[in-house]
Amino acid sequence: MLKYSDLISQRGALDRKLRSYNVQVERSRQPTKSAIPSGPSPQAVPSARIDEDEDAAVQWITEAHYQDAEEGESVWTLRAQDQIGLDKALQYIEEAQQKAEQMTHVGYLILSDRKNFPRIVGSRGANVARLRQETGADITVSRENTTITIIGTLFDSSDPWPSIYTIHR
């Protein structure tokens, strides 16, 4: 499924993991544009706004994921040195695809400025890594603007939004 390709690939982490199994992957087709959104769509409406003071305005926008994702198929050919490595790679890819299919919504935490980003990210990304591990969400802290993008399921009880907001405060 082409529309899940970016989340399955995990920004190159999938290929690194497969190499650890001595497996290489060739894809028949790559998406022409990323299914990982860079920001909210123009028609998105904030679902929450928190204004403690003028300097700490925070917006939370949630919308359906894969709205504009490219449809189609991509055949993945795996080349392995042994059956054990191939089996591990197949299991890993299947789990990644199931996770990508469950990531039905994307949330944007938009801060007024970047001054709290170091606290949110943590030393060497420790806070973001912990939140990813705890919630299963894909969390991206923008380098270009004041947006943190969170891809996951809507109304998940382990939603990273409260954790990130707590770190921000």
> Terminal CA-to-CA distance of the chain, rounded, Å?
40
| pLDDT grade for 142, boundaries at 50, 70 and 90 | confident
Mean pLDDT score across all residues of the chain: 81
Domain containing 134 equals 2-168
What angle (nearest 5°) sits at the alpha carbon of residue 102, between those of residues 101 and 104? Answer: 95
Q: DSSP string of 74-95? A: --EEEEESSHHHHHHHHHHHHH
Please give the share of the chain, as a percent, with pLDDT higher than 90. 24
pLDDT score of 131: 86
Q: What tens digit of pLDDT does each residue of 57-70 get? A: 778 888 888 877 88
Question: Ranked by mean pLDDT, which of 2-16, 48-62, 91-105 comes out on top?
Answer: 91-105
Q: What tens digit of pLDDT does each residue of 20-36 get? A: 999 999 999 988 877 77
| Number of separate domains in the chain | 1
Q: Residue 54: pLDDT above 80? A: no
| pLDDT grade for 93, boundaries at 50, 70 and 90 | very high
